[in-house]
Amino acid sequence: MPRMSSSPFSFPAFAGATRQLILVNLGAFFALAIGGLFSVSATDNLALHLTFSPGGFLHGALWQPFTYSLMHFGILGTLFELMSLWFLAGFLENFHHASWVIGLYAVSVLGTAAAALAIYACSATFGASLVTVPLYGCFGGVFGMLAAIGLLYGDTEFLLMFVIGIKASYLVLVYGLVAVAMLFGEQKMYAFAQLGGALAGLLFVNFAPRRGVNYMVSEYLYGLRNKYYRWKRHRAARKFEVYMRKQGRTVKFDGQGRQIDNDDHEDKKRWN
């Protein structure tokens, strides 16, 4: 089993899925910042279309659940999110395949958007008041990873605010209670979306294959390919059976297209 660093302030290795996630988010942040140097209005308009808005999604902006997590505004908030992502993803990558970590992050991000859309639809149906704000940042993916760590490695101790030692399961409980408390304030949609990301992460841990979604999809595609090859072999075998019957000989094949041995000696003598 991999060992964790003895220093409580050290971060995991910057490699694999952790590096990919950090660089993608960091690249999107700098691309948006550089674009703002040339045209603030055009950049703000682009960012508005890429953040997640339930109303915009229902009116055709179907790309928003996939792009909102790449939108980062403000240096301090972005720094905190990416440091959290680095630490949590690196910790999980010590025990899981890189594709599993990326799958957990992606499912948590999509679950966050789905939860925001659900509370928006419910508030519109029942006429409840809801302050809608565009969602941006990778907070949903971070919270999904934190929930996964709390479920799988609940006894692992972390430093809360770099000072107080606390078990991962208790840390998840604290963040969860804060999110639940926010449901009674103005940030209902944000809090519910955050809880949706955590729930999506827990569902991924319970139902996803150990090697990740990419491995599951590739195995499924390989299975489809093998079924197609078996069908072609079976079809060729049926055609060969018909041809051999016309030649006065009986040949049998099984369901996999493999020839079955024929013990009919009279049939063999005819060909000798």
Is 159 in contact with 107 (CB distance < 8 Å)?
A: no
> pLDDT tens digits for the chain (272 residues)?
343 443 444 678 888 999 999 999 999 999 998 988 888 888 888 888 999 999 999 999 999 999 999 999 889 999 999 999 999 999 999 999 898 999 999 999 999 999 999 999 998 888 777 888 899 999 999 999 999 999 999 888 877 666 677 888 998 999 999 999 998 888 889 999 999 999 999 999 998 766 555 656 666 676 777 777 777 777 777 777 777 777 777 777 666 666 676 554 444 444 44
Chain centroid to CA 264: 58
Chain centroid to CA 64: 16
Is 176 in contact with 198 (CB distance < 8 Å)?
A: yes
* CA-to-CA separations, 192 to 22, 85, 161, 183, in angstroms, rounded: 25, 20, 24, 7
Cα distance between residue 90 and residue 27, in whole Å: 19
Backbone angles phi, psi at 131, to 5 degrees: -85, 115
Do the bridges between strand 252-253 and strand 259-260 make them parallel or antiparallel, or are there none, so unpaired? antiparallel
Cα distance between residue 198 and residue 218, in whole Å: 26
Q: List all residues 6 or more positions away from 164 whose beta carbon is below 8 Å from its beta carbon.
A: none
Q: How far apart are the first and last CA of the chain?
A: 65
Answer CATH for 16-211 from 3.30.830.10, 3.40.50.720, 1.20.1540.10, 3.20.20.70: 1.20.1540.10
> Among all chains, which residue has been given the structure tokens 């055609």?
239
Chain centroid to CA 125: 29
Q: Residue 189: its pLDDT value, please? A: 92
Cα distance between residue 69 and residue 112, in whole Å: 10
* Every domain of the chain and the residues it spans: 16-211, 221-271
